[in-house]
Each structure stands twice: as structure tokens, then as C-alpha cells.
Structure 1
Amino acid sequence: MLKPLPDTVKGPAMRLQHMVMTFRSALVDRLVAHDPALSRVRMGARVTLSILISIAALIAFHFLVTPLPSISYALAIVLSIEGGVAVRDRTPGEQLKTRLIGCAASLFCISLAALLEGYRLVADLAFLGVILAASLARVYGQRGFAVGMFAFISYFMGAYLKPTFAELPLAALGPLFAVTIGHLVRTFLFPEDWRRDLRAALKAMQGRVMDILVRLSVLSKEGRVTENDRTELRHMEEQLKDVVLMAEGLLPRQVDGTAHSDDDPVTALSMAIFDLHLSAESAIVQSLETPPPFVLVHAVISGDRDLAEKVAASTAVEKGGETARASAQALLWLQRSLQALGRAAGKEAGGLASIDDRVVDEPPTKPDFSWKNPLVRAAAQITIAAGIAMIFGLFLSRERWFWAVLTAFLTFNNTKSRGDAAIRAMQRSVGTALGIIIGLAAATLLAGHTVSTVILASACVFLAFYFLQVSYALLSFFVTIVLCLVYGLIGQLTLDVLLLRVEETMIGAVAGTFVAFVVFPASTRSNVDLALARWYDALGQLLDAARDGESRYRVIELSSRLDAAYRELTVAARPLGSAWSLVTRPGPIRQTLAMFLATSYWARIFAHDFAEAKKPLDPDVLTAIEEARAALSKAAARGSDCFATRKPRPVMAGNAAPAFRQGAAMGADRVANLLNRLYPA
């Protein structure tokens, strides 16, 4: 919403300038709030610029040297996209190596498609062979995935555009330009810098905590908490968690994967991030029970520590009872955590700059092509789905059946269960249908306006890959608009062609969904079982580390892993609550996830208090740990049955149950209590 115009702003020109500046400021604030390190902006910009520069270079070559076939431009576009999205190596040298291998695979597949063009049946079977090989390449990790995508999309374009042998030398310029320009754009125009991104993430953390405090100040002034307030604060808590996970992921790790020493600046920063996250959660939990005094919240926001401590110790707070004192103490803890993060972030600017970039290098493992590997089973699924899509796509069109195969192939990208595949297929179909409606209207309005069409197409490419990590439906929507605009530019935009694209997309989506559910299905339930097993394992390691007296940083690190495991669990369980799912009971699912969230919260409380104690564990804590360990063993033995069990009432992080011990023992008590409540009598 635009702010009111100040009285000092007079005249139409000044008013317009003020409105533009206000709008731009609001847009920047919103952008930073959803993308603190601007990683999504860089992703969209990399892909867009790589495409534009590659096409411009090919056009210059076309007019200055020799005319180029259409396959050169098509390969430059699609491989610029794959180079920006699929190549995820950490260093520029490794990225270049992946791109060069992918380029070689691309040239091989183009040549193979041209060689087999005269033998349609053989060519179609070869396409399935390429799909199988590209899918199996994922066994080799991220590089295998990228090379497989280069190979698949290149054969796809070769079979679709049918280059001749005479055109192959010029067609090779497309991959070469895409690889070279994509690498230069990523290395020099939009380089990756973990220190820059970490500073941005830390700043965003502080900003989101301030947003929470402002909201708490409103509650304090009103003196009551509504259901809408609870929902909004939980949403703000989730936004903070997103940034915390980003910041923790950006922290440099040692090559051998071991924890840093306690005097390492990385350790100090990691502890400060953890402490701020936990104190913010506690402030929300306690304030929802009893809103803190307005003066106290204002003192925390302004950084006045003396005033905050004075208000927290006042008679008014003491008269409010235990909940009022807990609320005030949570605010003081949050204030200390904010100041600690500020100090640690100040160290980071100078201290971490001198530290080598330590990353976790996964030990080399032998590729597993056995049937036990889910990637191998997924490769079989992808190939069968592509074959089905190919057969039914050919019934519709001998020239454009490739769209059906493309959809079937992409349906299985980044999916781990049949539920994920079905959701992805549905998102692609909906995004394509809506994109055709908007794209047809845009291409019709811009007919004959080449410059405007190119500008709009570029903007849609940017938006497509800006939203890549947010929504696959939005990616499909914007890409479809781009295709409509391109068809309009080359004079091939017809309603029949667009309807055929929708039909082919639906065929591919249905084929992918059918195979996901029928052929070697990986059920959502089994995927949830795996994610839940990782969560249980992370919690067990945390409890064992504390019981065995490991370092405080090790316990905090394991607590962060538990938080990440919870996030993986929410993603795995997401299809269980979808309206289309065979398991249509979102009530128990939401309640169960809330209990796991609460357990993760109290596990972090336990880890924090253990780290703060700095002394051997007393018998109460050891007893509480053993009780939590026993509850964990019982719950883990039943796997994901808890998601099908109705709970007596929703559970939030702060109202789990009364605890009879204090400090670290209280956290372990709450963990045991929540785990026991997963299966109520």
C-alpha cells in the first residue's frame, strides 16, 4: 500500500516522483523479505542474460559470417536454461567441467538425432534410450543430473527441428555459445559469494525479528490475542525459520565435516544464529500466553537494555504471575540474542574473511546401479512414462508429440513419491493452460511489435526462473507465455497449435502420473517413513551427544540438523494432505506435524540449556534424557502410523504439557511427553 503524500510534496511532477519512489521502496522491501540473499533474482538474471547474450552473439555471427539454421538458436536457448539451472557445482572450475561434459553430450545427441532422422522407428527408440541414459546418469550425483539434462534436451531439439548433416557444424555453435556465455555470466556478472549472501541473510534475520517485535508491541498495546494474531505470528515464525536455514546453509564447513572448535568465529556465529532463532520462537510462544508490557517490547526494539531489565523486574510484571514473568524473560533473552548476533556478525565481516572456504566434500562412492537404488527405479519409471506419452502423442500429431514426452520426463524431476509426481503433473498442466490463455492474448496484442515482444518475453523468462524454487506451476505459466510470444514472432501462432500443446501436455502429465502410481510406485507413505526415520535418528543423536558429554557446539549442530530434518518431513508429508490424495485427512496430518514441530522446538530448548550449563549433567537431566530416549524408541518403531491417528487436540510449541523439572531436564521432559502423545491411548 502506498504511503500518504507528505504536505511538502506539491505539484503533479513531485507527486508522481514521490509515488514512484514509494512504490519502488515497497517493491524492494517485499523482494528482500522473500529473497534475502537475492539468490532467486540472480538465478532469473543469469538465465535471462545468458539467453539474450547467446542469441545476440548468434545473430551477429549470422549476419557477419554465415547464416545459421534454427537449431543453433534453439540449442542456445535451452542449454542456456539448463546451464543456469542444472549446473550446481560449488566452484567455477567444477562448473566449467560440468558444462564441457554436457556440451559434448549435447553434440553427440544432436548428431545421433540427425543420423537416425530417416529411420523414424529407430529414432524414436533411440530417444527412449537417451531418456534412460540421462535418467541413470543421476546415479553419479549432481553432475550426472546436469549432463543428463543436456543430453535429453539436445536430442529432443534435434528430433523436433530435424537438422541435416550439413547443418551440424553450424548447429554446434548453439551449445558452444551457450556453455561459454553461460559460464562467463555466472562467473563474472553474477558470481557466487557465500560471505555476501551470509551478510544478507543475517540482516534479513534481524529484520524479521524486528517485524515480530513490532507485531508483539501491537498485541501488548491491545492487551489481547486473537486467532488471527496467532496465525500471523506463526507465519512470521516460519519466515524467520526460512532465513535461519539459509544462513546455516551458508556457513562454511570443514573439509572432513567435523565440528569447528569452540573458539572458531564460525562457531560463535552459528551459536548466535541458533540462539536468536530459539529466543524469537520463545518470545512468540510466551507472548501468545500473556502479552508482555508495551514499554518492555519498545525497549527491546530500541535496544535499551537497562530499561528492558527494569521493566522486566517491575512489580507489575511480578503481579502478573508465572506466565507474565516468562513472557518478560523471553523478551530479555531475545534482546540479548539480537545483540550477540550483531557482535558475531561484526566478527564475521573481518574474522571469516580470513578463513578458507571449507566445504563438506562427500567421500567418493561407487555408483550404485542396483535395483535397490531409488534412482535406478525412477529411471525405469521415466522411460516407461516417456514411452507411453510417445505412443499416445503420436496419435495426436506426428510433428509435435515431443511435448508429451517432455512433460512425462519433467514430471519426475525432483520428486520422491507418487504423490509428488502427481502434484507436479497437475501444476504443469494448470500452468500450461493458463499460460496459453495469457500468452495468446499478449501475442495477439503485440503482433507486429518485435521490440515489445522481445522485452515481454525476456521479462517472462526472468520471472519463470525467479519462481523456479517457489512454484512449478508459475514456471510452466511463464515459459508457456514465452513460447506463445515466440510462435507469434515467427508467424506460427494458431489456436490449433496451442490447443495441441495443451493436449500433448495433458497426455504427458497423465502418463507420468499413471506410471508413478502403477509402475514401481514409491508411495508417499514410504517417503514419509524415510523422512521420519531421519528425524528420529537426528533426535536420537542429539540426546546421545548430550548424555555422552560431547561439546556444546556439537549438541547445537545436531539440533540444527534436527530442524532441517523436520523441514524435510513437512515436504515429504505435504502430498498426504492434498485434496486429490487417497489419504484425505489433512486434520490429523496438520496436528501430527504440529507435534513434531513442538518436539523440535523443545529439543532445541534442551540443546540450548545444555550448552549454557557448561557443567556435568545432574541426575535429573540424565533421567529425563533416558525417558525421552525410551519414548523415541517406541514412536520410531511405529513409523508413520502417527499421521493416520487422530489426536485429542492440536499441539503448539508452547503448550505441550506441564513439566516437573527445569533447565535442560525440562526440555527433555517435553520431548518425551510429546513423543508419547503421538499415539494417545
Structure 2
Amino acid sequence: MTIQATGRPTDTRDDEPQEPATPTTPEVRETRAPATVRTRDRLLASDPGHVRLALASRAAVSLALSLAASAVLAAVLGLAGTQAIIVLVLGAVLTMITTFTAADPTPGGRAITHVSLPVAMLVGITLSTLVDKHRVLSLSLFVVVMFAVVWVRRFGPRAFACGMVAWMGYFIALFLQLSFAQLPTVLLAVATTTVLLLVIALVLVPQRPARRLRRMVDSFGARVRIALAEHRDPALRPSWRRGDETARDRAVLRVNEAAVLVDGQLAIPGSLAAPARAADVRAAVIRAEAALSRALDDTDDVAAEQAVTAALADLDTVLDDDRAGRPRPDDGTGEPAPFTPAAELFAGFLPGSAITVGPMVAPEDEAQPGTGRATGMLLSTRQACQIALAGGLAIALGDAVSGQRWYWAVLACFLAFTGTATAAETIRKAVQRTVGTLVGVVVALVVVPWLGNSTAVALTVILVALFVGFYLFRVSYTSMAFAVTLIVAELYEMLGTYSDGLLALRVGETALGAVIGGVVAVSFLPITAMRAERQARARLAEELRAATADVAAVVRGETEDGPGRPDLHARARALDAAVHQLALIGVPLSLRFSPGGARRRPTLARRLAAWVRCAVRVRALVEAALELERTRRSDPTVRHQRVGAATRAVQGLVDALAEGRGPGEHRHRAWDDGPDDVLTELSALHGALVALHEIDPQAAGEAPAAPEAPAPAVGKEAGVRGRVVDTDGSGLPAVVTVVDPHGSQRARVRTGGDGCFALDVPDDGWWQMVVAADGYAPYAGRIAGGTHDVVVLRPSRTARR
């Protein structure tokens, strides 16, 4: 076989001379409109399921109604001045915490949590008022309370919420200087707010799981369309991403994040009219992702883009069928197995890094093999010890700075350990709280005096600030700290104690608490982010091993329908959830203010991109394997003789990753490509795994990864045009694939009936081209892009399979 090109060197595989073929005119591509991204898609993509918008709106509405109910209660009781403010503050605090933490998936569960939280708050307030006359005892008990409320987190989200509210009750009692004699008023305020919040949560603003699922699917579709448009026209990417070599992989990761959110939402009762359809929705989402991956392989493949649109339409059809109550189509596999989500959502969000760090630090008798060193201390116990030490130091040093406002240091310290699992995450949150407080104080120094002491204006500012803080909370904790600081400034204005010096003291105490929290996190029972990141990669390798083993069994025809049949879609989704854990844990490691963050950033980005590519190839392989299984079910005579070597090589590479070994002989391909999708996807996954071995050579080991191989230079796109012909010069239908030096597929097209093809590759360096035509020996050779290149391929005939 020979490649002949004008203006470029020739790379040959056969020694026999062949007559040069006459250059042929490439096929004419369909004209398309320029790629665009609609504003609506940007908005949908920014907030999957409108979860942040719903949370912020519910918080603002709940707070407005709570303040109104508290004001009425204060008027009925004849309270005024500071006493009325106490009622308002209690209602506001309980409302904000309940809105954020009462996130049970069922109405009954939410009702139980709504009743449990005020009880926990009253316990905290009562404990504080019982010892309010003895300062040393009060502060010492505060440390004990901090330890206890963190320790109970092991019992689940409701225990976490109750612990937070109990701690806040103790804190508010100190902040408002409540006495035991005021408990009846406190009880009335808390009870009134509890009843109101129950009415809001279950009647006025109930959660609607089916609507949230529909919106999450819409967000998924928006992210798919954005990824496709930005791939066609990189100028559509944000300016800070246009020169990023991992921009495409990040776009795919964002698409997959929405897909995992959909997967988690499917397990929420009420999301589907027929819960048995959850597997159908999952399958439709994965098919859309697989179609997207094929479209991203070639910028000019109109058919691939149309396939993406069709896949999204099929997903909508599945949801419409569920809503309309239409029966499930019979795919010949029987009833689906009980649905298990890849990730359990909390209030509509993906879980934090604790699900990876927790098993890593579990006792030896509870730890799973390969989870790392056991410490004999659960994560909740470890954090309880940390917060007890940090809280004690914050009380002592904060009191030295200000005997009245020391609690701000404790608040900053305590919240730095909330929702975090590694030392880097704790430091990141502490820094964000300090920055947010500083910005909030600067704004408050200008806004509060300008607005004056009008109660109506102050309440409006509080509600707007609360909405902004809750809406941007998951984007940046800095925004929440900013909003809370502005709210506190307005509160002090209403109390008549506002001053510039008071706000400056708040900044100082907050910074002190943040520093204490960071120092304790890195020096006392630390959990390093690097160790957690290695654990996440080890988990990824195991998930990859399980997924490829099940795919290999299906491809080889070793599975049977029934309860024991492997669920390839569930395997692929579990791998995706593990990828997102790696991405989450790596965030604080690459921050500019973290030591070595700027140096680690490129390494972490390339490593994550390599894992993302492997997950993409696994999803595409899953779809190809299931299509093969369907074909085999309708025609049992279908056989694929060449998949054995490919599956063995892929599994060998995955086993090496999981065991921290080099790829060895599995690095080299010992099979020829074919035109069928299974072999094509196996080859693509093999190339992605080889690249992963180069970038992340010790995925499961404790030693640091070796230096990454440099990414191929990407310059201006150059065209490669050509035709696949038989020995008589007639065109052949074939699959043409271009692979970069790391084994990652860069372009893939199917030729037309006349054998013509056209694709684009970067014009810097050499690229591997693989051509496979049914019934012919495959061709593999090097090419270099060039605007006017003409490539002519003559595959030699072999015995047809």
C-alpha cells in the first residue's frame, strides 16, 4: 500500500512499485451555517436543573415570610427594640439553615428534618443559657459542642443538619446574649418559624422532582450543543480557554457532569412516572454522549452532528413516553434491574470529596483493599478532633483580640471545616471566607451609611444579598461570605451599633479564625490533597478495570440475559462519577495561592484530560458492544474473530494501571483495525490508555507520577483530502482514522460510495492514519497535513471474514 502526496514526503509500507493514481476531486461537503451558541443554552448550562436558582429563590421567599411572621409575633407579644430584633434574628437564622440543609428526597423525610432542626436549635440555645453566668464554663462547653456536632456527621445528612443547627443555636445565644429567662420567647419564635417553614416546604414551594429532572436534561442538552459549537468554532469558547489544550476535554467533562446529575436525579422518588424507565433514560443519555464523542472526532462531519441532534431528540422522546404513560419497548433483555445511581445527590448537587476520602481513612477492619493506609479513625472523628482544637485556639486568640467579638474567629474557623475533607479544601474555604468578608466590609462601608437606617431598605438589601449568596454559593464560597457580611452590617445598623471600627474588627477576627483553621488542618491529623488525589486515581483505575471486564464479556458473547447480566451503562456511569471525584479533589491543588499550585496546574489538567478521554472511549465502546449484542441476538451467526487480541490488550493496560505497573507488551497493538464499531472503539480506547500510561504511569501507586509526555503541538488546521480505491481504481467504502502521537483519536470519517474523504489535522508534525475497508487488509501509515495534499490508498484484498 502506498501513500502518494503532493508537496509532502511519502511513507510507504510495500516494496512493490505501484502506478501513481490520478488525483481525484474530493467530495463536496454540505454547506453549514456558522456555529453559534444561544444565550438560552448558556443560561441552561450554567445551572443544571435550575437547582441554584430554585435554592436562592426559596431562601429569599422563606426569609421574607419568616421576617414578616416574626414581626407579627413580636407585635403580638408586645416586644420592641432589642427584644423584637432577637425574635427576627432567631427566625432568620433557622430559616436560612433549614432552607439549605433540609434536602431529603421525599416529602416525609423533609417534614421529619423540618421538625428535627428546631429541636436541635433549642438544645443548643438551652445549653448556652444554662451556663451563661460562668464564662469559662460557657466557652469550654462551646468546644465540646463543636466536637459533638461534627462527630455526629457519620450518621448521615440529617445528623449533619441537626449538628449544624445545634451549633448555630449555641452561637446565636452567645451572639444575642440570651438568658434562661428568655427561653419562652425563644420557644415561641422557633415554633412559629418551624410551622411557617413546613407550610412553605410542603405547600407553597414544594419540590417537584419530575420538573427538576426535565430541567437537568435540558441543561445536559445545552451543554452538548455548546461543546459541539465550540469545537467547530474555538472562538466561541471563553477567552481564557481558547489557548488551552485541554479545552475540549473540559467541555466534555461539563457535559458529563450534567449527565451524572441526571443519573442521580433519576433515583429521586417522583422524578419518573414509571421508575422502571430510569435505565432507559440513562441509556439515552449515554447514547447522546457517545454521539457527541464521535462528532468531536471530526469538525466537518455533518452526519455525526445530525446524529447528536437525533440522540437528544430520542432522549426527549423517552421522557415524553414516561410522562404519557406509554409502555416500555421490549428490547429482549427482560425487566430492568433495580436502578442504582452512580452518585447520590444532596439538594440537587453532586457529593463532595468525603466519599473518596472517607474510605481512605477508615479503620482497617472497615477499609476496602487498596484504599490506602488506615488510621483507625473515621473522617467525622478526625474532623471533630480538628475542629475542637481549632475552635479552642480561636476562642483563646479571638478573645485576646476582642473580648466581645471573639465569636467571629470561631465562626470562620468552624465553617472552614464544613463541607471539606482535605487540608487543601479547608484552606481554600478559609481564604474564600476571608476575601468575601473583606469585600463585603468594603461595600458595606459605602452602602450602609448611604442607605441610612430605613427598615424597609435594610430588609430589601438583606433579601437581595441572601439571594445572591445562595445562588453563587456553589460557584464560589466568597460570594456567600460577601452576602453574609453585608447582611450583618445591615443588622448592626438596625440595632444601632454599626461602626467602621466594628466592621474592621470583623475582618480581623475572620482572618484570625481562617488562619487557625488552615494551620490546624495541615498540622493536626492532616489529610493531604495529594494523597486524596492518588486515592481518587486508584478508584478510577478499579472502576475502569470493572467496566472493561464487563464490556469484554459482552463482546465475546459470554453473558446471558437475566439477573446476572452486567449493566454496562451502570458501569460507565460509575466510571464517570469517579472522574468527577478526581476533578473535584484536584481543584484546590491547582489554585494559584496554594504552594506549588501554578507548577502543578498543567500536570493536573493533562492528567484529568487523559482520564476524561478514557471515560469517553469507554462510553463509546459500551454503545458499540451493546449494538453488537443486539445484532448477535437477531443473528446468532455473527462472529468477530479479531476482538480477542484487542480486548486482551485493553484489559492488560487497565490491569497495569490498577496495579501501578507499566504497560509492557500491551502497549503495542497486535491486531488489525476493521470497519466495525467495536474494533474501532477498542482501538481508540487502547490508544487513550497508552496515552494515559505516559501521563499517569502510576495511577494506583504511592510514588509520584513520572513527568508527562509533551502534548502534540497544535497549530493551524490543514486539510487532508483523498480517496480509498480498489486495484481497479473503483472507490471503496472505508473508515479513515487519524491518531495523534499519544494515541488519542483526532479525526474519523467514513468515505462516501466513491471512496472520497476529507478531514483536517493540525499542520505541525506527523500523524498516524489508519484506513479499514471491509474485506481488505487495513492500512496504517504516517501523514502530515497540508492544504493541497492528495492521498491515494490502495488496500490489498484479503479473504473476507
- Within 5 Å, give how 1:244-259 maps onto structure 2: 244-252=259-267
For 1:34 and 1:162, how far apart are their aligned partners in 2? Answer: 42
Change (3 A) 1:659 1:432: farther
For 1:470 and 1:658, how far apart are their aligned partners in 2? Answer: 47
Q: Which has the higher contact order (CA 8 A, sep 6+)?
A: 2
Can you list the C-alpha shifts for 1:60-116, whole angstroms capped at 9, x where unaligned? 121123325543322211111110112221112212212322222211221111110
Can you list the C-alpha shifts for 1:585-615, whole angstroms capped at 9, x where unaligned? 2222211111111111111121121111113
Residue 666 of structure 1 aligns with which residue? 683
Partner of residue 491 from structure 1, selected from 496, 507, 511: 496
Change (3 A) 1:227 1:32: closer
For 1:229 and 1:531, how far apart are their aligned partners in 2? Answer: 24
Change (3 A) 1:187 1:533: farther
Residue 350 of structure 1 aligns with which residue? 324
Is residue 199 of structure 1 aligned with residue 214 of structure 2?
A: yes
Residue 632 of structure 1 aligns with which residue? 654
Task: State the TM-score, normalized to the length of structure 1.
Answer: 0.79
Residue 590 of structure 2 aligns with which residue? 577
Can you list the C-alpha shifts for 1:239-286, whole angstroms capped at 9, x where unaligned? 43333222222213799xxxxx9x953332221111112212331232
Partner of residue 137 from structure 2, selected from 104, 122, 147: 122
For 1:429 and 1:462, how far apart are their aligned partners in 2? Answer: 20
Can you list the C-alpha shifts for 1:419-458, whole angstroms capped at 9, x where unaligned? 1111111100001000110122110110133322211211
Tell me which amino acid in the other structure corresponds to 1:342: D
Partner of residue 507 from structure 1, selected from 497, 504, 512: 512
Tell me which amino acid in the other structure corresponds to 2:70: L
Following superposition, the deviation at residue 32 of structure 1 comes to 3.2
Partner of residue 71 from structure 1, selected from 74, 86, 90: 86
For 1:31 and 1:227, how far apart are their aligned partners in 2? Answer: 20
Following superposition, the deviation at residue 659 of structure 1 comes to 8.9
Tell me which amino acid in the other structure corresponds to 1:280: L
Following superposition, the deviation at residue 353 of structure 1 comes to 11
Residue 676 of structure 1 aligns with which residue? 693
Partner of residue 103 from structure 2, selected from 83, 88, 105: 88
Tell me which amino acid in the other structure corresponds to 1:548: A
Tell me which amino acid in the other structure corresponds to 1:577: S
Give the structure with the higher percent helix.
Answer: 1
For 1:343 and 1:271, how far apart are their aligned partners in 2? Answer: 13
Q: Do the aligned residues in 1 keep the contact of 2:235 with 2:242 (CA within 8 Å)?
A: no
Q: CA-atom RMSD, angstroms?
A: 3.4
Residue 267 of structure 1 aligns with which residue? 279
Q: Do the aligned residues in 1 keep the contact of 2:291 with 2:308 (CA within 8 Å)?
A: yes
Q: Do the aligned residues in 1 keep the contact of 2:152 with 2:380 (CA within 8 Å)?
A: no
Percent sequence identity over matched residues?
24
Q: Do the aligned residues in 2 keep the contact of 1:252 with 1:358 (CA within 8 Å)?
A: yes
For 1:469 and 1:427, how far apart are their aligned partners in 2? Answer: 12
Tell me which amino acid in the other structure corresponds to 2:411: L
Give the structure with the higher percent strand.
Answer: 2
Partner of residue 450 from structure 2, selected from 442, 445, 449: 445
Following superposition, the deviation at residue 524 of structure 1 comes to 0.6
SS of the counterpart of 1:38? helix
Tell me which amino acid in the other structure corresponds to 2:620: I
Residue 605 of structure 1 aligns with which residue? 620
Is residue 339 of structure 1 aligned with residue 335 of structure 2?
A: no
Change (3 A) 1:426 1:56: same
Change (3 A) 1:217 1:629: closer
SS of the counterpart of 1:108? helix
SS of the counterpart of 1:191? coil
For 1:153 and 1:553, how far apart are their aligned partners in 2? Answer: 47
Gap runs ≥5 in structure 2: 1-37, 329-335, 345-361, 367-374, 633-637, 674-678, 698-705, 710-801
Q: Do the aligned residues in 1 keep the contact of 2:95 with 2:197 (CA within 8 Å)?
A: yes
SS of the counterpart of 2:567? helix
Q: Do the aligned residues in 2 keep the contact of 1:603 with 1:667 (CA within 8 Å)?
A: no
Q: Do the aligned residues in 1 keep the contact of 2:105 with 2:268 (CA within 8 Å)?
A: no
- Within 5 Å, give how 1:77-476 maps onto structure 2: 77-212=92-227, 214=229, 236-252=251-267, 264-287=276-299, 292=300, 327-351=301-325, 371-476=376-481
Change (3 A) 1:180 1:281: farther
Can you list the C-alpha shifts for 1:615-650, whole angstroms capped at 9, x where unaligned? 3884543433332332223223349x99xxxxxxxx
Residue 652 of structure 1 aligns with which residue? none
Gap runs ≥5 in structure 1: 1-25, 256-260, 293-326, 643-655
Following superposition, the deviation at residue 469 of structure 1 comes to 1.6
Is residue 593 of structure 1 aligned with residue 608 of structure 2?
A: yes
Change (3 A) 1:658 1:602: farther
Following superposition, the deviation at residue 675 of structure 1 comes to 3.6
Change (3 A) 1:352 1:245: farther
Q: Do the aligned residues in 2 keep the contact of 1:202 with 1:345 (CA within 8 Å)?
A: no
SS of the counterpart of 1:548? helix
For 2:41 and 2:174, how far apart are their aligned partners in 1? Answer: 46
Partner of residue 579 from structure 2, selected from 546, 566, 577: 566
For 1:435 and 1:674, how far apart are their aligned partners in 2? Answer: 46
SS of the counterpart of 2:49? coil
For 2:510 and 2:413, how far apart are their aligned partners in 1? Answer: 8
Change (3 A) 1:219 1:116: closer
Q: Do the aligned residues in 2 keep the contact of 1:428 with 1:472 (CA within 8 Å)?
A: yes
Residue 316 of structure 1 aligns with which residue? none
Tell me which amino acid in the other structure corresponds to 1:110: I
SS of the counterpart of 1:172? helix
Change (3 A) 1:32 1:186: farther
Change (3 A) 1:231 1:671: closer
Following superposition, the deviation at residue 156 of structure 1 comes to 0.3
For 2:669 and 2:424, how far apart are their aligned partners in 1? Answer: 34
Q: Do the aligned residues in 2 keep the contact of 1:403 with 1:508 (CA within 8 Å)?
A: yes
Following superposition, the deviation at residue 213 of structure 1 comes to 5.0
Tell me which amino acid in the other structure corresponds to 2:543: A
Following superposition, the deviation at residue 484 of structure 1 comes to 1.3
Residue 16 of structure 1 aligns with which residue? none
Task: State the TM-score, normalized to the length of structure 2.
Answer: 0.68
Tell me which amino acid in the other structure corresponds to 1:134: V
For 2:223 and 2:685, how far apart are their aligned partners in 1? Answer: 29
